[in-house]
Each structure stands twice: as structure tokens, then as C-alpha cells.
Amino acid sequence: MKQLALVCLGGAFGSGLRYGTTLLFDKLSPKLAAAFPLATLLVNFVGCFAIGVGAGLLGREGVKYGPELQLLLLVGVCGGLTTFSAFAGQTLALTSGKALLNVGASLGGGLALAWFGAWLVK
């Protein structure tokens, strides 16, 4: 039950961050936000980088509260923050050229940043 509570708490925080980022982008640049899902791309990049760094740091032997922090931060916060379900829906709504750009940037950039985050903490 404690593990579920950690994931739910982190997920609520991550989801709030994602929603707040979308609101900020919508307010700062409504035309750009309507034309391309930059807020989703940004939170996916940040989440992928954070997962790489967090897994590298919290997966080390002897880290106090490592498994609990992994649940809270990686499963909860990053899981609530990264928005691949929103990514899929928004990509489907884009024209084919923009959809390909969104898929390529999200997957290529996200994987590269996760790798870089893990490498950074080694």
C-alpha cells in the first residue's frame, strides 16, 4: 500500500507539472501551441532526461531509500509528467509532415536524453 501511495503522490505532482506547462505554453504563444505540441515535446524530453538521471543515481547500490524514491520520482513523477498518450493523440491530429517531425523529435530526442542522463551520472 505504501508503494501505491508513493506512485500516486508522484503521479499527481507530475501530471500537475505537465498540465501547468501546457497552460504556460498556451498563454505565452497560443498560435504556436495550437500549431505544434511543443509543451508535450518539452515535458517528454525533460521526463526522459530525468528518468535517465534518476535511474542512474537511484539504482546505485547503497542508496538510502532508493526503491522508494524510484517509485515516487521515476514511476510517479516522471510517469505523470511524460505524456506519450497525449503525444499519440496529438500526433494523429497533425498533418503528415508535422506528425513525422513530432514522432522523430520525441523518440530520437527522448531516447538520446535518457541515454545522456544515464551517462552523465556514471
For residue 44, give the amino acid letter: N
11 and 79 in contact (C-beta within 8 Å)?
yes
Average pLDDT over residues 64-91: 91
Q: pLDDT class for 85, splitting at 50, 70, 90?
A: confident
Going from N- to C-terminal start, the domains of the chain cover 2-120
30 and 50 in contact (C-beta within 8 Å)?
no
Lowest mean pLDDT among 22-26, 55-59, 82-86: 82-86
Q: pLDDT class for 3, splitting at 50, 70, 90?
A: very high
Average pLDDT over residues 71-87: 91
pLDDT of residue 26: 96
77 and 11 in contact (C-beta within 8 Å)?
yes
The DSSP output letter for 78 is I
**Does pLDDT of 60 surpass 90?**
no
**Model's pTM, two decimal places?**
0.81
pLDDT tens-digit series, residues 95-115:
999 999 999 999 999 999 999
pLDDT tens-digit series, residues 30-46:
999 999 999 999 999 99
- The Cα 122–Cα 55 span in angstroms is 11
